[in-house]
Structure 1
């Protein structure tokens, strides 16, 4: 097989062929044997599909996981963010096969598969001994690529159900495989990859490579959600893998002892991370979310120079009159789900020398020196105050639209520039320490997830006591002296407490929709400005019309 012209050809081919044709144009004179000159070239080839994975973790994929669920929303804020009704369609579960986030996710999934297959095709033809590398190293490189293919397909299975299974680049216009076939393909790739990857040793830093534990964790994830994917509960299989991971059978990992160590500026040293995507200032920065999350003038809060678009925020915990929604629905209200006294619930402040506190922008918006930060829309030249509510408070008063707060509606169309609490899970330094900016790697899999998976498996199998112990082992680090002020107990552990705990620990990590679906809550439960549809087909997104237009062998998901 000959070396292809460039990755750009692949990307263009995928776009115009509905992401179902994986071949490329190529030069006849360039082959893998002549293209690769050194180990550096091999590493560069391996790096390319991982950079795609880093992009894939955010943007449209994150949006489908979070804006369709109960923790986040992009409300319309006066003249901003209606976006042709796009944000409301996702929030109200009214999306269509023509919506952009869905197309971007289908296309991005198969692009990732194609990039990994391309690299695998090349590296499999090399004689590694010519680069002073061993056959064991070659097998490990192939295993990493198989694991990466599995990752993309695992996410595709979660979003769409069955997808076309590509195993070489000369296949094109394939029909969709069934959910069961894709499930088994992922299982096969992961099982084989696990045998050829090294295990992490104590003290090893994360550099973006997939190790043995990450593969075992992906297999545990596959089994954990098997009832959703193929209609067959496999919690016992997931339980065994999760327990083995905690027992260090796949490498040396442990929970980070500090509340923010796994997300901090130097988190590549955290003992908790099983797999992460590297990020560094001016070098493959993981920063896509900044513009969406933060107000135009929040740069003053961070003492930074970055502008924002003021879109996303947590769904509200409080009604316009200030009372909690706790009696109205059991999901959502993410900020008030955190216990008072939890370190994470504090306002975010950068303290210097790589230290920071808190995880939210809430309340009066002040610069580090205490100066009020002013608004530019509804509160033009007035001090900003971020509230855990959604309503047009600026329209209340004599001669205005509403005479009292009690008349205010709270819904997606009623945001303002100070609406909603903002998440700061990726720490942001000030300009004086700007080399730290985007220095926190993006965790893909961490040991806390394995603890929670094991806890849920134990709960479902019938061991509430062990489930409680596992969750509390993670929770305690978020409180002074490790004394949890609201521990999980055998008396309070149930479906809703589990969903709260998944929300608290993993808020903003791009997984909420999957958790709701596993608990059969995504289409059956109510949350802020969202009524359940009871339409189970919405647990899968439609195959994009653009994909079907490029390949008439693709069949649409039921219900669309």
Structure 2
């Protein structure tokens, strides 16, 4: 194969990325593939190189999808977490083409991943499987991995930017474009690639066998990407594809693409042994002290600084904690409940009594925990003395509440006299913290061992329910949601917390959006759900008024890309 100095896809990823991706190239006039691949393991390693990069890219995706939405915020606290106002730009939808590296990283990292996938795809087109002792089904499933992963990257570019270049070859730049193509071209490409790949991928034929499919696209995983594509097609290309979404989602639920099952415990898909959880359709394998991007650069930062004292999970295993994002408040600083229809993150959980997720997080030992939130005082023992966690910059004891204000030394139950509350008036007591993945003690063998759940069966069930609801079948939609929701509530509460016809709750589109938020809080998807329900630009939530227009439904092409590639045009609405 020829090595080109200016590979088109890499030209689109010119800014520096995380250390996990090295874009430096060694230039050779002629490099033969046979020099690279001498064993079966060489081929397998090549096939999965881009998966590690893909795992890292969940970090910028999380921030660009959660922070401009209604559930999570990063307010300024005691002089920190201002960062030049970037988090306010996300919150207020006032970003420009110069906005933070997180938008840049989403663009750059997706094209870097596509380039890596293209390299593998081109190699599979020239390698002989017999030389490496691959059976036909093994070879087909292996060579399809990067074609599906490339679709995952392109789907994210379509979601964030809509108008992007098209790159499908590492070896042949003539197949690629430096300029943007219409969103329909990307959409149709993703659809065909996934449809072609599904029959050639492995199928998970029995429950309890999920661990063998770590970092691997199966038939159900590829079909799940079709569900994501079709569910949002109206936004992506202006065409309603909900009927197709419903068909594929129903097939996944019915086991056409493999055997999956909703877990009995709410935390099972996030626990240290979640690779064996039948709810997971696709997951990136993480391991403590090796690769664990969702801990080290994401969820570790969603709990207060010095939380290692509370969790007993000192830096040797989990890394540090930094108190970055918290839940959008339900109360003003005087203790009065807001009346926003959106946001009100914790209040939406409180709406239905008995939700086990609302318990304060606690390590129970032996790979067990309870609760999904941190609030109130965070107490721990040190040298036999009971202590309470303190703020990192001022010596007040944390008393975390569902409000944003400068509470500082206020005790539990004490409130402020002024209702003023915005992105600049917070402290470290402002907003409940989310603990989706367990922060087990160092003494627990499961500490930091959870894999990252990229696609869970409930996502498919909720997409199917939304499709049915939008065509008027609220009862079947309710049953589908109940099949997941019942695990969160005591059985004696089911009548008052489940949707009709199995419970008393009426399901409508507003409730459907709320339920998407409860089930997938802090999983990096909230922005597109608000957009699909026409709330992202028109909605009102804490410290957020409706936008003047809807151009922020998609992000701008980062300015650095515009200045280095004259073929690119800026997205509408951005100067």
TM-score class normalised by the smaller sequence = over 0.9
Bigger mean CA deviation after superposition, 500-509 or 298-307: 298-307
Output the CA distance in 2 between the equivalents of 1:23 and 1:177. 27
Residues 1:429 and 1:524: Cα distance change in structure 2 (over 3 Å): same
Output the CA distance in 1 between the equivalents of 2:48 and 2:157. 21
Output the CA distance in 2 between the equivalents of 1:62 and 1:174. 27
- What is the DSSP-based 3-state SS (H/G/I as helix, E as strand, rest coil) of the residue aligned with 1:394? coil
Measured after TM superposition, the shift of residue 465 of structure 1 is 0.7
Measured after TM superposition, the shift of residue 14 of structure 1 is 4.7
Measured after TM superposition, the shift of residue 233 of structure 1 is 1.1
Measured after TM superposition, the shift of residue 163 of structure 1 is 1.1
- What is the DSSP-based 3-state SS (H/G/I as helix, E as strand, rest coil) of the residue aligned with 2:405? coil
Q: 1:232 aligns with which of 231, 236, 239?
A: 239
Measured after TM superposition, the shift of residue 353 of structure 1 is 0.8
1:334 aligned residue: 345
1:25-76, Cα deviation, whole Å (9 max, x unpaired): 5434542222111121112112210011101112x21101000000001100
Kindly indicate whether the alpha-carbon contact (under 8 Å) linking 2:306 and 2:392 is maintained by their aligned counterparts in 1: no
Q: Determine if the alignment matches structure 1 residue 423 to structure 2 residue 406.
A: no
Residues 1:322 and 1:370: Cα distance change in structure 2 (over 3 Å): farther
Output the CA distance in 2 between the equivalents of 1:23 and 1:229. 33
Output the CA distance in 1 between the equivalents of 2:15 and 2:276. 42
Kindly indicate whether the alpha-carbon contact (under 8 Å) linking 1:48 and 1:115 is maintained by their aligned counterparts in 2: yes
Output the CA distance in 2 between the equivalents of 1:297 and 1:162. 42
2:386 aligned residue: 371
Any stretches of 5+ residues in structure 1 without a counterpart? 398-402
Output the CA distance in 2 between the equivalents of 1:12 and 1:78. 41
Any stretches of 5+ residues in structure 2 without a counterpart? 18-22
1:523 aligned residue: 537
2:555 aligned residue: 541
Kindly indicate whether the alpha-carbon contact (under 8 Å) linking 2:219 and 2:257 is maintained by their aligned counterparts in 1: yes
Q: 2:568 aligns with which of 534, 554, 560?
A: 554
1:400 aligned residue: none
Residues 1:299 and 1:103: Cα distance change in structure 2 (over 3 Å): same
| 1:338-377 superposed matches below 5 A | 338=349, 339-367=352-380, 371-376=386-391
Q: 1:468 aligns with which of 478, 485, 504?
A: 478
Q: 1:186 aligns with which of 163, 182, 190?
A: 190
Output the CA distance in 1 between the equivalents of 2:311 and 2:403. 23
1:233-283, Cα deviation, whole Å (9 max, x unpaired): 111110010111010000011111221111111010111111001011122
- Note the aligned Cα RMSD (angstroms): 2.5
Measured after TM superposition, the shift of residue 15 of structure 1 is 3.8
Measured after TM superposition, the shift of residue 492 of structure 1 is 2.6
1:414-473, Cα deviation, whole Å (9 max, x unpaired): 11122211100010111212x422211111111101110000000011111101111111
Normalised TM-score (structure 1): 0.92
Output the CA distance in 2 between the equivalents of 1:408 and 1:102. 33
Kindly indicate whether the alpha-carbon contact (under 8 Å) linking 2:391 and 2:398 is maintained by their aligned counterparts in 1: no
Output the CA distance in 2 between the equivalents of 1:462 and 1:71. 28
Output the CA distance in 1 between the equivalents of 2:483 and 2:258. 20
- What is the DSSP-based 3-state SS (H/G/I as helix, E as strand, rest coil) of the residue aligned with 1:198? coil
Q: Determine if the alignment matches structure 1 residue 498 to structure 2 residue 487.
A: no
Output the CA distance in 1 between the equivalents of 2:475 and 2:465. 9
Measured after TM superposition, the shift of residue 496 of structure 1 is 1.6
Normalised TM-score (structure 2): 0.90
